[in-house]
């Protein structure tokens, strides 16, 4: 028999576990120099966290710092500082938020100074800006750089030659530099253990994300999803903490599913699911809760999103494999969402529209993120054509508060929900975008 408060207890445990993990990682970064720990800086898509852990190095992710600062309303000033120093308004605002933070003393999201990296580890996956970002950081810190070139899936598939090419670089470029910087010799058995933990956590994450196929969905796979993917996309994949977090989270969602409950939102439990959406593109972080409120107040639930796959498409079957450790790392890098071509992205969104029984596709086009925004109107039109479901297009930015217009976005969303209602009532037969 389930205790009547079990869902709340499990939910609180998962939430508190993640907060504890994030706080602990920042604490370790801040004391790295005095503790004699080396620090690697890397990015989310295609990150090699399991490998970094083999060398007792800490993982600092500039994207995550920008996101955390954005949610704390700090990035506006950092971006303006970077622009005063000559960076264009059109440059990715993650980059400017990071460079502005460094210029103002490199104080992290929790108010403590972040360490200079000992190694910049770039596993390039679909975003050319990453390379330019690390060039700027290398000029700033004068530290070692390891570049893992990951071929783009131009033909929409991963070939054995592509995997071999990435594995060769891991062996000859990445591991030797990690050994040299850290002073720790590579142990492939240690990597296998980390990968086995990753696979366990990935199983539970996929279960959570696919719970959104239920009606009502017990989760929001975009706004709630950004919390769910946090540990596995960042400095915790491969750790026992991540395994425990996803175990707790799965327990929470299982309870909600059994009770027929909708998602938990900042305004409380969603009582009635009116619209089921698939969303393409990252969220706006500086006004995250206000953005989310525009959805849950209308009863709109995001049942699948592409952003929650930017750090790995586990729901398509990929798992980190301890029996093929280096090949597995290569396949992970090659398979991230932003490394897929437009036809593959469209096929994936169409799959989500069908399997999650979505009412429509919403695109949040990010002003400064070309790796997501290029081709999005083509994606929208093609999904409308294939599914007959209406699409909508809104615009904001990652962490620049100047490019979030709440009145404009709210009006577009309200018009879009009205369009869905009309379609249900037998209205217009041809799909068109707001």
Burial classification of residue 266, based on how many CB atoms lie within 10 Å of its CB (0-12 exposed, 13-18 middle, 19 or more buried): exposed
Contacts of 22 (CB under 8 A, 6+ apart): 230
**DSSP H or E run through 333:** helix 325-335
- Dig out the tokens for 152 from the structure: 């783009």
Partnered with residue 279 across adjacent β-strands are: 305, 362
Total Cβ atoms within 10 A of residue 389 = 18
Structural contact between residues 68 and 195, judged by C-beta atoms closer than 8 angstroms: no
- Give the whole-angstrom CA distance, residue 188 versus residue 197: 14
Q: What crossing angle do the helices spanning 325-335 and 188-210 adopt, rounded to 10°?
A: 40
- Going by pLDDT thresholds of 50, 70 and 90, the confidence category of residue 427 is low
Per residue in 383-397, pLDDT (tens digit) is 999 999 999 999 999
- Dig out the tokens for 351 from the structure: 């799959």
- Going by pLDDT thresholds of 50, 70 and 90, the confidence category of residue 434 is low
**DSSP H or E run through 41:** strand 39-41
Fold of domain 24-188: Rossmann fold (3.40.50)
Structural contact between residues 232 and 311, judged by C-beta atoms closer than 8 angstroms: yes
pLDDT at 109: 94
- Dig out the tokens for 304 from the structure: 């699948």
Taking all residues of the chain, what is their mean pLDDT, rounded to a whole number?
A: 93
| pTM of structure | 0.93
- Dig out the tokens for 121 from the structure: 């580890």
Fold of domain 191-424: Rossmann fold (3.40.50)
The segment(s) of the chain belonging to CATH 3.40.50.11900 are: 191-424
Mean pLDDT, range 38-52, rounded to an integer: 95
- Give the whole-angstrom CA distance, residue 268 versus residue 257: 16
The segment(s) of the chain belonging to CATH 3.40.50.11890 are: 24-188
Which position has the higher pLDDT, 49 or 430?
A: 49
Between strands 39-41 and 275-280, the pairing is: unpaired
């Amino acid at each position: 028999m389930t205790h009547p408060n079990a869902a709340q207890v499990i939910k609180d445990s998962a939430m508190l576990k993640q907060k504890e993990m994030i706080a602990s990682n920042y604490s370790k970064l801040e004391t790295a120099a005095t503790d004699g720990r080396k620090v690697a800086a890397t990015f989310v898509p295609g990150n090699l966290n399991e490998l970094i852990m083999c060398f007792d190095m800490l993982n600092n992710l500039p994207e995550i710092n920008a996101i955390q600062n954005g949610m704390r309303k700090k990035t506006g000033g950092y971006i303006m500082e970077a622009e005063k120093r000559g960076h264009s308004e059109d440059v990715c605002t993650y980059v400017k938020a990071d460079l502005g933070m460094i210029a103002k003393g490199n104080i992290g999201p929790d108010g403590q100074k972040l360490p200079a990296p000992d190694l910049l580890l770039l596993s390039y996956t679909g975003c050319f800006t990453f390379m330019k970002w690390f060039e700027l950081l290398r000029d700033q810190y004068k530290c070692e750089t390891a570049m893992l070139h990951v071929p783009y899936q131009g033909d929409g598939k991963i070939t054995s030659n592509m995997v071999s090419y990435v594995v060769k670089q891991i062996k000859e470029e990445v591991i030797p530099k990690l050994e040299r910087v850290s002073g720790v010799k590579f142990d492939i058995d240690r990597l296998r253990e980390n990968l086995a933990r990753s696979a366990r956590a990935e199983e539970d994450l996929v279960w959570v994300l696919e719970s959104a196929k239920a009606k009502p969905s017990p989760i929001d796979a975009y706004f709630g999803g950004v919390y769910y993917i946090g540990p596995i996309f960042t400095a915790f994949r491969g750790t026992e903490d991540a395994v425990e977090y996803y175990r707790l989270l799965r327990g929470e969602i299982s309870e909600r599913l059994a009770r027929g409950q909708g998602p938990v939102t900042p305004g409380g439990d969603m009582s009635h699911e009116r619209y089921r959406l698939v969303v393409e593109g990252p969220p706006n972080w500086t006004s995250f809760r206000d953005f989310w409120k525009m959805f849950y107040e209308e009863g709109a639930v995001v049942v699948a999103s592409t952003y929650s796959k930017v750090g790995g498409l586990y729901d398509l079957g990929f798992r980190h494999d301890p029996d093929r450790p280096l090949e597995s790392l290569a396949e992970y890098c090659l398979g991230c969402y932003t490394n897929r071509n437009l036809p593959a992205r469209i096929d994936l969104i169409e799959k989500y529209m069908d399997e999650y029984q979505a009412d429509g596709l919403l695109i949040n086009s990010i002003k400064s993120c070309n790796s997501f925004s290029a081709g999005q109107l083509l994606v929208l039109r093609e999904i409308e054509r294939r599914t007959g479901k209406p699409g909508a297009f809104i615009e904001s930015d990652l962490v620049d508060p100047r490019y979030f217009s709440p009145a404009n976005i709210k009006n577009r969303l309200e018009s879009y929900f009205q369009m869905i209602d009309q379609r249900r009532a037998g209205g217009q037969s041809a799909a068109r975008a707001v």
